[in-house]
C-alpha cells in the first residue's frame, strides 16, 4: 500500500475499525475512506454498490460487523446472521466488481468447532459442530471466509481472511447486556468499587479458558498481513496464550482495585470450554503481539475512566 492509496475501513467507529484507522494514520496513510452506518447502510446492496462505484477504493479492511457476547449472540440470532451475511456479501462482491487491489476480511475465533482440538489450527474449520450460543454469528463469519476463497478461485481476487482471537481495548462495548466478558468485568468491578458493593456476580463456573488480544495489536497485525500475506488460507491472529475466566476475573478486580467477594452464578452458560489460537502461521510471517494482558487491561480501564460517560450512557 502506498501512502496516497484510497483505503476503505468498513466499521471505522468500532473498536477494531478505529484501531485500524489509528494504525494507518500512524504509518502515514493519508487517503482513508470511512462512512458511518447512518451515512451508508452496509446491509443495503444498492447503497454499497453506489458507494464503490463513486469512491473506487484501492484497498478494503472489512471490519464492519454486528457483534456481541454470549447473551447478545443467543438473543438476536436472526440479526447476527442476517446483518453479517449482508454486510460481508455486499462489500466483497462490490470489491470484486470495482477491481479493489486487495481486501482483508476479519472473522472471529468462534468459527471453529466447539470441541476442536487445542490450540485451534486454521485447518480445523468446518470439522465439527459449532458452539450453539453463537452459531448464527459463526456461520456468517465462515461464509465470509468462503466468499473470499470463492472470489479468489473464480476471479483471481486477492482477498484474504484473518481470524482474531477475543479482543479488547480502546472504545470497547461496556453495555452489560451485549458486551464481551472483559469489558463487562471492568464495568462491573468499577461500579462495585464506586458503590462499595460487598460482592460481584460473575457468569458460569470460571473454568473456560480464553485468549485476549489488545485491539491495537490486532490492527498492527492486520496491516502487517495486508502488506506481507497473499495466501488463500485464513490466518489466526492472537497471542498463543490463554487463562481461565476465573483468573481473568481476579486480574480485572485487581486492576480496578476492587477487593470484595466474587460470586459465581453457575446457572449461567460457560460457552466453549477453550478457544486458544494456534498462531504458528502468523509467527512464521514474522509478527508477534507487544501488549501483554495486564498492561492491556490497565490501558482499557484508563480508557473506560476517561470515557465512561459515553460508554455507560
Considering the candidates 8, 59, 112, 137, report the single residue annotated as catalytic: 137
Is residue 223 a known part of a binding site?
A: no
Is residue 167 a known part of a binding site?
A: yes
Is residue 106 a known part of a binding site?
A: yes
Active site residue 151: no
Is residue 153 a known part of a binding site?
A: no
Is residue 9 a known part of a binding site?
A: no
Is residue 108 a known part of a binding site?
A: yes
φ and ψ of 224, to 5 deg: -60, -45
Is residue 183 a known part of a binding site?
A: no
What is the C-alpha separation between 95 and 296, in angstroms, rounded? 34
Q: How far is CA 9 from CA 21, 48, 142, 161, 188, in A?
A: 7, 13, 20, 15, 32
Is residue 141 a known part of a binding site?
A: yes
Is the omega angle on the peptide bond into residue 238 within 30 degrees of 0, that is, cis?
Answer: no
Please, is 294 exposed, middle or buried when counting C-beta atoms within 10 Å of its C-beta (0-12, 13-18, 19+)? exposed
What is the C-alpha separation between 271 and 133, in angstroms, rounded? 7
Is residue 210 a known part of a binding site?
A: yes
Is residue 244 a known part of a binding site?
A: no
Is residue 109 a known part of a binding site?
A: yes
Crossing angle (nearest 10°) for helices 181-194 and 245-256: 40
Is residue 56 a known part of a binding site?
A: no
Is residue 203 a known part of a binding site?
A: yes
Is residue 188 a known part of a binding site?
A: yes
Q: Residue positions in the annotated binding site for substrate?
A: 188, 203, 210, 270
Q: Residue positions in the annotated binding site for NADP(+)?
A: 11-17, 106-109, 141, 164-167, 180
Q: Residue positions in the annotated binding site?
A: 11-17, 106-109, 141, 164-167, 180, 188, 203, 210, 270
Catalytic residues: 137
Amino acid at each position: 500500500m502506498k501512502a496516497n492509496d484510497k483505503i476503505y475501513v468498513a466499521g471505522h467507529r468500532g473498536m477494531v475499525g478505529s484501531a485500524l484507522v489509528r494504525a494507518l494514520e500512524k504509518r502515514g496513510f493519508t487517503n482513508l475512506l470511512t462512512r458511518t452506518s447512518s451515512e451508508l447502510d452496509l446491509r443495503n446492496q444498492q447503497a454499497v454498490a453506489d458507494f464503490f462505484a463513486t469512491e473506487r477504493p484501492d484497498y478494503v479492511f472489512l471490519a464492519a460487523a454486528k457483534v456481541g457476547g454470549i447473551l447478545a449472540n443467543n438473543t438476536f440470532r436472526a440479526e447476527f446472521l442476517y446483518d453479517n451475511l449482508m454486510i460481508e456479501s455486499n462489500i466483497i462482491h462490490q470489491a470484486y466488481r470495482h477491481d479493489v487491489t486487495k481486501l482483508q476480511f476479519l472473522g472471529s475465533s468462534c468459527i471453529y468447532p466447539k470441541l476442536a482440538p487445542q490450540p485451534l489450527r486454521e485447518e480445523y474449520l468446518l470439522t465439527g459442530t459449532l458452539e450453539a450460543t453463537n452459531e448464527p454469528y459463526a456461520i456468517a463469519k465462515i461464509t465470509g471466509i468462503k466468499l473470499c476463497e470463492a472470489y479468489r478461485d473464480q476471479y483471481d481476487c486477492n482477498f484474504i481472511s484473518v481470524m482474531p482471537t477475543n479482543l479488547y481495548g480502546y472504545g470497547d462495548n461496556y453495555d452489560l447486556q451485549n458486551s464481551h466478558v472483559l469489558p463487562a468485568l471492568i464495568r462491573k468491578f468499577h461500579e462495585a468499587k464506586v458503590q462499595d458493593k460487598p460482592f460481584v456476580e460473575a457468569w458460569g463456573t470460571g473454568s473456560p479458558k480464553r485468549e485476549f488480544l489488545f485491539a491495537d495489536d490486532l490492527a498492527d497485525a492486520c496491516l502487517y498481513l495486508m502488506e506481507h500475506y497473499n495466501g488463500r488460507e485464513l490466518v489466526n491472529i492472537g497471542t498463543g496464550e490463554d487463562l481461565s475466566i476465573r483468573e481473568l476475573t481476579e486480574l480485572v478486580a485487581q486492576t480496578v482495585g476492587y477487593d470484595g467477594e466474587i460470586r459465581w452464578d453457575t446457572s449461567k452458560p460457560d460457552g466453549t470450554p477453550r478457544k486458544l489460537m494456534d498462531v504458528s502461521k502468523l509467527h512464521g510471517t514474522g509478527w508477534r503481539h507487544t501488549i501483554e494482558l495486564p498492561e492491556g487491561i490497565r490501558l482499557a480501564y484508563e480508557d473506560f475512566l476517561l470515557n465512561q460517560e459515553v460508554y455507560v450512557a
